[in-house]
Structure 1
Amino acid sequence: MSKYYLYTAEELEEHNSNYIIRSWSFSKVGQFCRNEKAFEMIYIYGYQSTSSASGVSGNAYHEALSSYFKSKQNGIELTLPEVEMIAFQYIDEVPANKWKLQITTPTIAESKIKAIKSTTALLTNFFHEKYKYEDHIAKILDVEISWTGYLTINGVDIPLPCNAVIDLVIETHDGRIIIIDHKSTNAFSSEAELSLAIGKQAMTYVKTYEAHSGLVVDEVWFCQNKYSKNQKGGDQLNMFPVVLSYDTRVLYEDLLYENIKRLIEAVSNPDYVYLINDFDNLVNREELYEFWSKTRLNEIDVFDIDESEVNKEMVAKRHRKIRDSSVNTVSPKIIKHFHNKAASFIKYDLNTTDMTQSQKIEHKLKVTCSADARVAHMFSGFSSDTYLLEVGAGTKISSIRGYNLEIASALNVANVRISKDLKVFEGKSYLQVETGKKKDKFLPWDSTELIGQKVPLGKDNFGETIYWDLENESTPFMLICGAAGSGKSASIISSTEYIKRMEGIDQIIILDPKYEFTSYDSDPKIQVYNDILDIERKVEDLVLEMNNLIKYGEKKKIVIIFDEFADAVANSRKGKDLEIWEDVEIGYYKQSALEILQETAPRVKTKYQKTGTLRSLEENMRIIKQKGRSVGIRGIDATQRASSKVITGDAKVNYSLMICFRVPKAIDSTVVLDDSGAEVLTGMGDGLLKSPEFPDLVRFQSFFYQESAQ
């Protein structure tokens, strides 16, 4: 066992502070040995995170095979169409800023087409030749396992943990333990290349899995799947085995150790100079030199460094030293000229050019879709920025909407939202493009935003406060939907805090089946109900109270906040549980002669039978929404479940105001808002609002309440 497992947490923290990276992997070791500067660019500065169509295809293939073998492990055999759907969904969900555009695939649409075509070929090949896997499988031991831990290589305890992902581990019919690695390729590697070079990767997997499982691995198989069709026919899958005899283990472990030792020495030395390999065909040379010059011109904060993977403090000290020494040696003007020259060769990445975001949008539209458009106005919001585009005559706006991913790629964001309707600003119509951005602050709750009985919901990208007017009978009930972490609960809390400070509010009732608002139990202005039966009874009482108010022509301002109403409805009483059963008089028993002579009163005959049916929780809530607005009842219903079974067409009729925070899929957004867009929100209060007061959806940032808020 590695000695580093004996370290305390404090000792490990002190130990790890001496290294730039926090873990090693075979990918990192291989990249370092092939091209040190590319290693620095990718794994330290996080500079390159895009994938070509072939790279995305390979990842989709891995995702599909992972699902196939996990299902097979559970006794379920997936078909080719089912596996293809898994792969295609993966491709469809790759964010716009993760695609690497190239000469052969200059747009994301073309990149997707190529990725789908290659993935289809890979999966078809697999299903035709999967017997090369399955004929040997007696038992599937593990699928797509990820493990991080300390290893001992060549008798030496490696001072950084290894991070490895293993595709498939099987036990064969003759009891051998075999690791299988899936590879997608355009051409098979030569046997000489595999025999001499693949052993170090095999040994990384072996040491990792043996440490993880305690089992002894007998062989590692590398299965290459070639998506380009063989001219003369023949197999498309090539299974290359590495048999792990004692001598083979010792040989490959020794070779692996040499490479790891070089990497460890480099990342432990803050003054180490990472060399450029100009003959590395797997890295774009222009990107490498553009990166080199960028490190000489910029502060560390312009790089997207992942602090969970890299010691940023150590990198910052090293970066500052290198940059200052370079500037003292070479004029910054010369370095910048070199940077611009290198960037000019990267034809399909606008992030390397000195352009504003507005200029990138205009350039992308002109070059990619020949659209004449100019960014006339730009507004910076809390969670997103808004660009108002002035579209030239002869340009179809619908064509621009089809290039939303191209715009996102140009701006280096995951996605953009283009409004369905035009935005009228200062008397002129514009096409509105919204792009999310990294959250650097919350929109603080502010008591001064409260005006009468208007509930401040948040601010739009134009700086205007968005309100829910409780005095407006056209917007009595509001629906809020959003996934976990989207800001739904924070928005409800913010609204509750505003409502309880209003004049003229008679009752605030919180129906909270998930116990998320128990902090309001002690608030004398608010009644909180958690148990489902208590919620049902309270809603029944509210219906009676509402009917009395209607009967006597009175009004009462009651605000009902119902969190996770869909779960409450699902768990409430239904069917026979709502039946009312009582003892009912059905006559009298026949009297005997003696009872008649004694003038005894006849005995009543009863029968226990159904006498009626209570209304369900869902029905009572619907009645309140249909009739409650006229007597002053207002309400918020919230749910995580954006399902058409929950939010039906009939139910949506009762909500004139609808808010959708981030949801997983476009269909979820459509269920709530009748339009997509909520799937590209950034979370943490970034929302879309639909209201009769606005012609189009409004993107806004909700307020965030803290106890210290005034």
Structure 2
Amino acid sequence: MSIYNSYTPDQLEEHFSNFIIKSWSFSKLNQYVRNEKAFEMIYIYGYQNKSAASGVSGNAYHLISDYWKAKQKGLTLSLPELQEIAFKYIEEVPANKWKLQKTTPTIAEAKIKAIKTTTALLSNFYKEKSKYEDHIAKILDVELVITVYVTINGVDIPLPCNVVIDQVIEDHEGKVIIIDHKSKNSFTSEEELRLSIGKQGITYVKAYEAYTGRVVDEVWFCENKYSQNRSGEDQLNMFRVLLTEDTRALYEDLLYENVKRLIEAVSNPDYVYLINDSDTLVDRAELYEFWAKTRITEIDEFDIDYTDVNQEMIKKRHRKIRDSSTKMITPKIIKQFKSNAASFIKYDLSTLDMEPQQKVEHILKTFGIHTQVAHTFNGYSSNTFLLEVSAGTKIASIQGHKLDIANALNVPNVRIPKDLKVYEGKSYLQVETAKKRDRDLIWCESELKGQKIPIGKDNFERTLYWDLDNQSTPFVLACGAAGSGKSVELISIVEYAKLIPEVEQIVILDPKFEFMDYASHEKIEVYNEILDIENKVESLVREMNSLIKAGKKKKILIVFDEFADAIAASRKGKDLDIYSMVQVGNYKPTKDAFGFPVPGPPKMQRQKTGELKSLEENMRIIKQKGRSVGFRGIDATQRASTKIITGDAKVNYSLMICFRVPKEIDSRVVIDDAGAETLAGMGDGLLKTPDSPDLIRFQSFWKPQEQTA
């Protein structure tokens, strides 16, 4: 067992502070050995993360793991079923993850090639999967993700090893075998495999054995060749690595030399990562463009994922590199070099020193669409470009290239509303793109106008309101996934409502216990337990009916967080039945002491005498009748389910807010249109209101916790 398994969390934290990365893998190791600068670019700075169509299809092919997972359960997925899984993956690859090339200059063409290649790979697999299945007595593991400390050549490696093992089986002889799937345009020669594949195999073996305690007997590398053999030979080639005592020792020794070099490099903050100009697997222009960028750019300009790297060490290292470079070479010369390098990176506008609006215009011109970005608006979580479209240009043609626009801007997606935007008396096509947040929209009391509660600001700096005094907008629906900004929006609304004198009471229905801090406020009531929520809503219905009969009004704001979960957990069916003891007759008469007849005692029986209304029904009644007496409300949920947000239910919501949701279908459920799946999160939302024919993109207000009371 590795000594590092015995470290306490505090010891590990101190230990990791000495390394620029927090784990290693064979991919990292292989990249470091082949090209150190590319390793720094990809695995430290997270700079290169785009995949060509072949890379995307390779990832899609690895979803044959679903076939083996089904096999474990005694099921068999058909080829069309597995194809649908793979095709869905390809469709959901974000625009800025596609690497465009000469043969695939657009995302649409890249997707077609990826689907075609994946289809060939899956067809090959189904035709020849007996090469796997004939040997399988038991499937032990599928797509196993492991992070574990390993010992190589008797040395405890100070960083944990990450591996994703495609498949582990036990054959009919009881041998434990690791299987790795690879997609290839052409088979690797057996000579090359014998020399190089052992290091990868022993990495899997050491990690798996340390994690499970099982001894691995063999490692199989199965290459699936998507280009068809004209000779009719097999498309799957299985190469077996037999793990004898001698081969284990040999591969461990080869692996250790490389791991030792990597560990020494990542533990030295001043290590100089060298460029290998002979590396054909990395775009040399990209590598030099990255090199120049590290010399003149602030660290915040890089999209670094700090979950697996040491943030402080990178910042110190980067500052030292940049400062020393600009002292020796003028920034102007470095910028010129960077521009020269970027000019060789074809089909990728994200690397060029162009303004975003120039990139939008340029990418559309490459498709013969002439536009001009007339206005640019810098929002909080997104930017808006207003495009002046040349006469004769079909708007639909621009809609078809929105992924190419996103790729040029290096964002996952862009949103192009269906309706034109009228600005300063002129119509424009509107393009919205998510961006890295550079400022926050801080909650401000001065934004409150009478009973108009500020919802947020759009990219044109207009404040959007929910008018509590307007009977046509009494109830609001808000939806968004975790981290989308939904709770922040609710807190902002409550904070504004507290300041409105006309709002006599705020009722917060909080099944997730997120608003407990408001329980002590004089005009706020907070209910958490589902039975308490049901009883309170029932009492609100009674109060509403009393107000209607008396012809009175009372401004009550009902904030219902996670209402879908509450409704799902509430009482239904027979649980709502009311039972009472009812007299159903009398027992047999008796006689008194003088012989006179005495009526028998009443015979009682427990019977259903009524039925309570469900929580969902009571909420529906409040929405239908409550507006006239001053009831206002906002219902929020993470679940964009058609079972909860039905067409009939949405009739009662005049305003609909949708923050980021996982899928396009979720967006359509909430706001009847796509777009919310492309949002940036953290308060970036879409508002559907009767005042606007199109959805309005906005940023919600955020009130820091220390300011809330």
TM-score computed with the length of structure 1 as normaliser: 0.95
Structure 2 match to 1:572: 570
Q: Kindly report which structure 2 residues correspond to 1:313-462, keeping only aligned pairs within 5 A, or say none.
A: 313-327=312-326, 330=329, 332-367=331-366, 369-462=367-460
User: Comparing 333-342 with 218-227, which one deviates more in the overlay?
Assistant: 333-342
Deviation at 1:69, TM superposition (A): 1.9
Q: Are the counterparts in 2 of residues 579 and 613 from structure 1 also a CA contact under 8 Å?
A: yes
Query: Measured at CA, do residues 322 and 601 of structure 1 come closer, stay the same or move farther in structure 2, by a change above 3 Å?
Result: closer
Task: Determine the C-alpha separation between the residues in 1 that align with 2:538 and 2:115.
Answer: 55
Structure 2 match to 1:74: 73
The one-letter code sitting in structure 2 at the alignment partner of 1:389 is L
Deviation at 1:689, TM superposition (A): 0.8
The one-letter code sitting in structure 1 at the alignment partner of 2:197 is I
TM-superposition CA deviations, 1:169-227 (whole Å, max 9, x none) = 11112111111111011111111111111011111111111111111111000011111
Deviation at 1:259, TM superposition (A): 1.8
Structure 2 match to 1:98: 97
Task: Determine the C-alpha separation between the residues in 1 that align with 2:247 and 2:167.
Answer: 22
Deviation at 1:695, TM superposition (A): 2.2
TM-superposition CA deviations, 1:468-487 (whole Å, max 9, x none) = 11100000111111111211
Is residue 2:199 matched to residue 1:195? no
Query: Measured at CA, do residues 249 and 641 of structure 1 come closer, stay the same or move farther in structure 2, by a change above 3 Å?
Result: same
Structure 2 match to 1:518: 516
Q: Are the counterparts in 2 of residues 23 and 160 from structure 1 also a CA contact under 8 Å?
A: yes
Point out where structure 1 has 5 or more consecutive residues left out of the alignment. Answer: none
Task: Determine the C-alpha separation between the residues in 2 that align with 1:512 and 1:332.
Answer: 55
Structure 2 match to 1:204: 203
The one-letter code sitting in structure 2 at the alignment partner of 1:348 is Y
Deviation at 1:445, TM superposition (A): 1.8
Structure 1 match to 2:297: 298
Is residue 2:231 matched to residue 1:235? no
Deviation at 1:538, TM superposition (A): 2.2
Query: Measured at CA, do residues 375 and 233 of structure 1 come closer, stay the same or move farther in structure 2, by a change above 3 Å?
Result: same
Deviation at 1:317, TM superposition (A): 4.3
Structure 2 match to 1:275: 274
The one-letter code sitting in structure 2 at the alignment partner of 1:60 is A
Q: Are the counterparts in 2 of residues 581 and 610 from structure 1 also a CA contact under 8 Å?
A: yes
The one-letter code sitting in structure 1 at the alignment partner of 2:130 is Y
Point out where structure 2 has 5 or more consecutive residues left out of the alignment. Answer: none
Deviation at 1:679, TM superposition (A): 0.8
Query: Measured at CA, do residues 554 and 215 of structure 1 come closer, stay the same or move farther in structure 2, by a change above 3 Å?
Result: same
Q: How many residue pairs are counted as aligned between the two chains?
A: 708
Which SS does the other structure have where 1:475 is aligned? coil
Structure 2 match to 1:546: 544
Deviation at 1:459, TM superposition (A): 1.4
Query: Measured at CA, do residues 542 and 192 of structure 1 come closer, stay the same or move farther in structure 2, by a change above 3 Å?
Result: same
Q: Are the counterparts in 1 of residues 32 and 39 from structure 2 also a CA contact under 8 Å?
A: yes
Deviation at 1:595, TM superposition (A): 10
Deviation at 1:604, TM superposition (A): 4.3
Which SS does the other structure have where 2:24 is aligned? coil
Deviation at 1:326, TM superposition (A): 4.7
Deviation at 1:601, TM superposition (A): 4.8
Deviation at 1:234, TM superposition (A): 2.2
Is residue 2:48 matched to residue 1:48? yes
Task: Determine the C-alpha separation between the residues in 2 that align with 1:537 and 1:241.
Answer: 67
User: Comparing 175-184 with 317-326, which one deviates more in the overlay?
Assistant: 317-326
Which SS does the other structure have where 2:707 is aligned? coil
Structure 1 match to 2:155: 156
Deviation at 1:647, TM superposition (A): 0.6
Deviation at 1:607, TM superposition (A): 4.7
Structure 2 match to 1:120: 119
Is residue 2:689 matched to residue 1:691? yes
Which SS does the other structure have where 2:437 is aligned? coil
Instruction: Among all aligned residue pairs of Structure 1 and Structure 2, give the percentage whose two residues are the same amino acid.
Output: 69
Query: Measured at CA, do residues 614 and 20 of structure 1 come closer, stay the same or move farther in structure 2, by a change above 3 Å?
Result: closer
Task: Determine the C-alpha separation between the residues in 1 that align with 2:671 and 2:107.
Answer: 27
The one-letter code sitting in structure 2 at the alignment partner of 1:37 is K
Task: Determine the C-alpha separation between the residues in 2 that align with 1:607 and 1:318.
Answer: 83
Deviation at 1:341, TM superposition (A): 2.3
Q: Are the counterparts in 1 of residues 167 and 179 from structure 2 also a CA contact under 8 Å?
A: yes
Q: Are the counterparts in 2 of residues 511 and 535 from structure 1 also a CA contact under 8 Å?
A: yes
Q: Are the counterparts in 2 of residues 452 and 503 from structure 1 also a CA contact under 8 Å?
A: no
Is residue 2:703 matched to residue 1:705? yes
TM-superposition CA deviations, 1:361-411 (whole Å, max 9, x none) = 1111111x3222111111112111111111111111111112111111011
Deviation at 1:312, TM superposition (A): 4.4
Task: Determine the C-alpha separation between the residues in 1 that align with 2:690 and 2:266.
Answer: 59
**Equivalent of 1:651 in 649, 652, 663:** 649
TM-superposition CA deviations, 1:284-319 (whole Å, max 9, x none) = 122222223333333443333333333344444444
Q: Are the counterparts in 2 of residues 557 and 631 from structure 1 also a CA contact under 8 Å?
A: yes
Q: Are the counterparts in 2 of residues 446 and 709 from structure 1 also a CA contact under 8 Å?
A: no
Structure 1 match to 2:2: 2
- Give the RMSD, CA atoms, in angstroms: 2.2
Is residue 2:631 matched to residue 1:633? yes
Task: Determine the C-alpha separation between the residues in 1 that align with 2:249 and 2:181.
Answer: 25
User: Comparing 685-694 with 331-340, which one deviates more in the overlay?
Assistant: 331-340
User: Comparing 591-600 with 227-236, which one deviates more in the overlay?
Assistant: 591-600
Query: Measured at CA, do residues 327 and 243 of structure 1 come closer, stay the same or move farther in structure 2, by a change above 3 Å?
Result: same
TM-superposition CA deviations, 1:246-271 (whole Å, max 9, x none) = 11111111111122223233333444
Structure 2 match to 1:531: 529
Q: Are the counterparts in 2 of residues 444 and 705 from structure 1 also a CA contact under 8 Å?
A: yes
Q: Are the counterparts in 2 of residues 445 and 709 from structure 1 also a CA contact under 8 Å?
A: no
Query: Measured at CA, do residues 560 and 61 of structure 1 come closer, stay the same or move farther in structure 2, by a change above 3 Å?
Result: same
Q: Are the counterparts in 1 of residues 591 and 598 from structure 2 also a CA contact under 8 Å?
A: no
Deviation at 1:661, TM superposition (A): 1.0
